[in-house]
């Protein structure tokens, strides 16, 4: 009787160990796959926003008379150059997100230039992640949320 109890306890422990190992392997696989998907999405977003900034710079005037507009255009060009250079060497998701941020900042600077020149603004970029951080809950609409937008997602700006 004692041998049967020991055998069944050992078998139960072995089954639990196998199940735990299987769960750990599945969890690790899921973790790796999630990181791969996030990196791929970050790369697509960074490439798309950088490309959009480049196209907007191509249609921007070569020189402007207003000093603030000229400074904003120069900042946009420098941000685009930095985004392109970093995109070539980026290997991690955070680096790709920084490239995206550079491109969005460049678009923002182009819009500053357009406003100074009295032209219609161009693409605005997505809603900032921290847009509602300093506002009270009463001012926020219940339907407002941060949704990834951009050329690579197919959603409007």
Within a domain: 133: no
Within a domain: 139: no
Q: How far is CA 101 from CA 27, 49, 63, 71, 84, in A?
A: 31, 9, 25, 19, 12
Within a domain: 157: no
Q: How far is CA 11 from CA 14, 116, 157, in A?
A: 5, 77, 59
Task: Report yes or no: 83 and 102 within 8 Å, Cβ to Cβ.
Answer: yes
Could you list the pLDDT tens digit for every one of the 157 residues in the chain?
788 889 999 999 999 999 999 999 999 999 999 999 999 999 999 999 999 999 999 998 888 888 999 999 999 999 999 999 999 999 999 999 999 999 999 999 999 999 988 888 787 767 554 344 444 444 444 444 555 655 666 554 4
Count the domains in the chain: 1
Within a domain: 74: yes
In whole angstroms, give the CA distance from residue 140 to residue 110: 28
Q: What is the domain extent for residue 106?
A: 26-117
- Check: pTM over 0.85? Answer yes or no: no
């Amino acid at each position: 009787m004692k041998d049967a109890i020991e055998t069944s306890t050992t078998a139960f422990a072995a089954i639990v160990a196998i199940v735990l190992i299987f769960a750990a392997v599945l969890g690790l696989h899921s973790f790796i796959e999630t990181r791969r998907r996030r990196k791929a999405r970050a790369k697509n977003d960074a490439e798309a926003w950088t490309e959009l900034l480049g196209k907007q710079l191509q249609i921007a005037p070569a020189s402007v008379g207003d000093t603030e507009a000229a400074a904003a255009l120069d900042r946009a060009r420098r941000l685009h150059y930095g985004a392109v250079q970093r995109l070539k060497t980026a290997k991690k998701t955070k680096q790709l997100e920084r490239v995206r941020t550079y491109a969005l900042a460049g678009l923002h600077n182009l819009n500053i230039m357009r406003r100074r020149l009295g032209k219609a603004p161009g693409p605005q970029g997505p809603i900032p992640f921290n847009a509602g951080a300093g506002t009270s809950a009463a001012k926020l609409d219940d339907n407002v949320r941060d949704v990834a937008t951009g050329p690579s997602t197919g959603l409007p700006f």
